[in-house]
Chains A and B, each alone.
Chain A
Amino acid sequence: NSKVIQTPRYLVKGQGQKAKMRCIPEKGHPVVFWYQQNKNNEFKFLINFQNQEVLQQIDMTEKRFSAECPSNSPCSLEIQSSEAGDSALYLCASSWEQDTQYFGPGTRLLVL
């Protein structure tokens, strides 16, 4: 069973507000991923880290999202100015290099 912890489980924000969610990856996993799962259940990759360094991120993440994975602290994903289209399930996953991803339960964001 996955031991990836995500908080909060639910988040409600108004448009333009900041929305921040956190993830504690499985102990020892060096790679952390953030995904957005939309209402059609499709996964959109947002960003991944190896240890504290960003490996890859999409344009949207560069512009409106900020994310970090500091050592000895939870990883975080923050939307600087929430939009209605950001309403989704945000999944964090961790893994060894190029292997199985272990997912957390997700943070469900609703932007009103």
Chain B
Amino acid sequence: GDSVTQTEGLVTLTKGLPVMLNCTYQTTYSPFLFWYVQHLNEAPKLLLKSSTDNKRTEHQGFYATLHKSSSSFHLQKSSVQLSDSALYFCALIASGGNYKPTFGKGTSLVVHP
């Protein structure tokens, strides 16, 4: 079956530093990858999405590139802010799969002053 791996459970950084949150996936179908962000006591919401190989997608200072050759969709930001502290989930929808996304276990990002 499909799977999504997020290797970091917790990332702690100082404000202003760059960050990369890892996401790799496995599927035999054509992939559609998503990053969702969930702030404390809020609903998850979309941050980025892509189904296009090797094309960078950006939103709110975050960016990611889907690389089908390495099955990866890592999330990056060049300078984190205190407000970026949240849970980040990578999700995969594989075409032909009853629309059911597969979520990674999530990465908690904590940004210190």
- Show the binding face of A for B, using Cβ within 8 Å: 1-2, 4, 31, 33, 40-43, 45, 48, 50, 55-56, 91, 95, 97-106
Contacts and interface: CB of A to CB of B under 8 A. Distances in A.
B103 A43 contact: yes
Contacts of A98: 32, 93, 95, 99
A55 B43 contact: no
- Do most interface residues of chain B lie in helix, strand or loop, or is the interface mixed? strand
B99 A55 contact: yes
A102 B45 CA distance: 7
A45 B100 CA distance: 8
B34 interface: yes
5 contacts: A4-B43, A33-B100, A40-B105, A100-B49, A102-B45
B106 A91 contact: no
A40 B98 CA distance: 26
A108 B87 CA distance: 18
B29 to A, nearest CB: 10
B89 A2 contact: no
Interface string B21-33: 0000000000010
Nearest to B38: A41
A20 to B, nearest CB: 20
B100 A56 contact: yes
Contacts of B65: none
